[in-house]
């Protein structure tokens, strides 16, 4: 099929810039517009991306010289900000040994160390680590673990998954099948994706008393569907891309008991919530439960390189292995550069910070508490703005929900004018700042969120 080419200069007028080229930025923008597909975008994209030249600390430096405080941590990943000397050194040092080797038949210290550390820091009982390339792939692996586990138990009829509405687990096909069926873009795939079991979204409040009726509904749904589901998969405590909603940890405890009673696996997707973001190092800790499988990603490498992990218990591993091998093995599994920087990043988060008059506290905890207090202060006045439906803060996450969809161009421009990078979606303007963001940075982010809210036409 032939499609008309977008109008624009011919191939010779948009060449890659050479050193000293005064039109460098314009040329890059033009080439980007013509050739580069950006996330959740058409071609050419509705909104031109900003050209970033470099980033350091919590600031992005644009090609036009402007500096923006990063309110997004590069989609929850860059928890230490940018160009952290310890992380830079970890990558450089590992590069001097090897950038990559295949993981089939070979192993190496960065991966072994990382696996051992993850076992140590995740909820007790998770002992085996499958390293893979991205969050979506770790969800694929977790689902495969669930399905293979049930096959190994002689239950081939358990081929479905169950989840609650409002979730998000990635953009590859099986993860999409457990994303909210109405939200995002996944409605495009109705009839293509495997049909899963959905219960209503958890009532949205972290602190209010749990809803007894909903607790009973969860338990009942697991019991009713136990013969057809291999696993229940949820994001614990914070549903991220599905709507930035927080829920009470009691629902996770109910799921833990109900799934255990029927030997249905419980998968926690902590790709967004892991590494301190919600105020606990892992969101599962709010509930005090261990899932059978845990997915990690995003901040695992401090946002330096793509890496994810699916951890499981010895029971899951034994159940799968009794029937054969786990049928997965990505090319870049256990990439040494990514593992090395993940080890360094976790080391920084866990480093003890002496506090006056009390026991030392981990660095991540000091930072997240400070950011949480700053966001609560800074966003309180936003709740009274016209058109703001809700303001909520948990750990280092701040959310402003409007009563109408965000105009992405207007909201982004307002935030950029206020010196902050935000990426609103649906009716949500939200932030997950890098942990080194200081009080002034957080105050600036809150002001930019207010400006973005006001900029959305009513």
* Catalytic positions: 40, 168, 269, 298
412 binds ligand PMP (CB under 6 A): no
Of the pair 136, 259, the CB lying nearest ligand PMP is at 136
Out of 115, 139, 311, 393, name the contact with ligand PMP by CB under 6 A. 139
Cis peptide preceding 44, ω within 30 of 0? yes
Out of 140, 269, 427, 441, name the contact with ligand PMP by CB under 6 A. 269
Strand partners, 394: 397
- Name the segment binding ligand PMP (CB under 6 A); options: 1-9, 168-176, 184-192, 387-395: 168-176
Shortest Cβ 140–ligand PMP spacing (Å): 9
134 binds ligand PMP (CB under 6 A): yes
Give the residue at shortest CB distance from ligand PMP: 135
430 binds ligand PMP (CB under 6 A): no
Of the pair 180, 441, the CB lying nearest ligand PMP is at 180
397 binds ligand PMP (CB under 6 A): no
Shortest Cβ 273–ligand PMP spacing (Å): 7
186 binds ligand PMP (CB under 6 A): no
Shortest Cβ 141–ligand PMP spacing (Å): 12
Out of 84, 128, 144, 169, name the contact with ligand PMP by CB under 6 A. 169
Residue pair 259/219 in contact (Cβ under 8 Å)? The answer is no
Shortest Cβ 7–ligand PMP spacing (Å): 33
Of the pair 272, 391, the CB lying nearest ligand PMP is at 272
Q: Cα dist. 339→87, 134, 280, 343 in Å?
A: 11, 13, 23, 6
Of the pair 136, 150, the CB lying nearest ligand PMP is at 136
Cα of first residue to Cα of last residue in the chain, in angstroms, is: 41
- CA–CA separation, 283 and 401 (whole Å): 22
Shortest Cβ 137–ligand PMP spacing (Å): 7
Q: Cα dist. 98→84, 101, 338 in Å?
A: 21, 7, 11
432 binds ligand PMP (CB under 6 A): no
297 binds ligand PMP (CB under 6 A): yes
- Name the segment binding ligand PMP (CB under 6 A); options: 113-121, 167-175, 380-388, 424-432: 167-175
Question: In the range 198-237, which residues lie near ligand PMP by CB under 6 A?
Answer: 235
193 phi and psi angles, rounded to 5 deg: -75, 150
Site residues, ligand PMP (CB under 6 A): 134-136, 139, 168-170, 235, 240-241, 269, 271-272, 297
């Amino acid at each position: 099929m032939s499609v008309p080419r977008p109008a624009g200069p011919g191939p010779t007028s948009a060449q890659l810039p050479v050193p000293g080229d005064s039109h460098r930025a314009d040329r890059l923008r033009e080439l980007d517009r013509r050739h580069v597909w950006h996330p959740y975008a058409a071609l050419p994209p509705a909104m031109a991306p900003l050209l970033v030249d470099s980033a350091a600390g919590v600031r992005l430096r644009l090609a036009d010289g402007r500096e923006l405080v990063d309110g997004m941590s590069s989609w929850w990943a860059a928890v230490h900000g940018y160009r952290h000397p310890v992380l830079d050194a970890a990558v450089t040092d590992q590069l001097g040994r090897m950038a990559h080797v295949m993981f089939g038949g070979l192993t190496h210290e960065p991966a072994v160390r990382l696996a051992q550390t993850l076992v140590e820091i995740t909820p007790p009982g998770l002992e085996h680590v499958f390293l893979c390339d991205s969050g979506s792939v770790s969800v694929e692996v977790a689902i495969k673990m669930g399905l293979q586990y049930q096959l190994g138990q002689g239950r081939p009829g358990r081929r479905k998954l169950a989840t609650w509405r409002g979730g998000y687990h990635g953009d590859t096909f099986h993860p999409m099948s457990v994303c909210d069926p109405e939200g995002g873009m996944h409605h495009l795939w109705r009839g293509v994706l495997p049909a899963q079991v959905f219960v209503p979204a958890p009532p949205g409040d972290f602190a209010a008393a749990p809803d007894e009726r909903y607790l009973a509904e969860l338990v009942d749904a697991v019991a009713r569907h136990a013969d057809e589901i291999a696993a229940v998969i949820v994001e614990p405590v914070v549903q991220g891309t599905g709507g930035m909603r927080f829920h009470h940890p009691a629902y996770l405890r109910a799921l833990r008991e109900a799934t255990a009673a029927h030997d249905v696996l419980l998968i926690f997707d902590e790709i967004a919530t892991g590494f301190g973001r919600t105020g606990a190092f892992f969101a599962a800790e709010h509930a005090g439960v261990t899932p059978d499988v845990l997915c990690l990603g995003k901040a695992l490498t401090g946002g330096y390189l793509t890496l994810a992990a699916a951890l499981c218990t010895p029971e899951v591993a034994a159940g799968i292995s009794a029937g054969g091998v786990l049928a997965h093995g990505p090319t870049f599994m256990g990439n040494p550069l990514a593992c090395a920087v993940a080890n360094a990043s976790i080391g920084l988060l866990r480093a003890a910070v002496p506090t006056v008059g009390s026991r030392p506290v981990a660095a991540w905890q000091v930072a997240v508490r400070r950011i949480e207090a700053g966001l609560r202060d800074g966003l309180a006045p936003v709740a009274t703005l016209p058109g703001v439906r809700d303001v909520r803060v948990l750990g280092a996450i701040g959310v402003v929900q409007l009563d109408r969809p965000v105009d992405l161009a207007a909201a982004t421009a307002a935030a950029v004018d206020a010196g902050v990078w935000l990426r609103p979606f649906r009716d949500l303007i939200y932030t997950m700042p890098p942990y080194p963001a200081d009080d002034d940075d957080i105050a600036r982010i809150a002001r930019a969120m207010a400006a973005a809210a006001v900029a959305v036409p009513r």
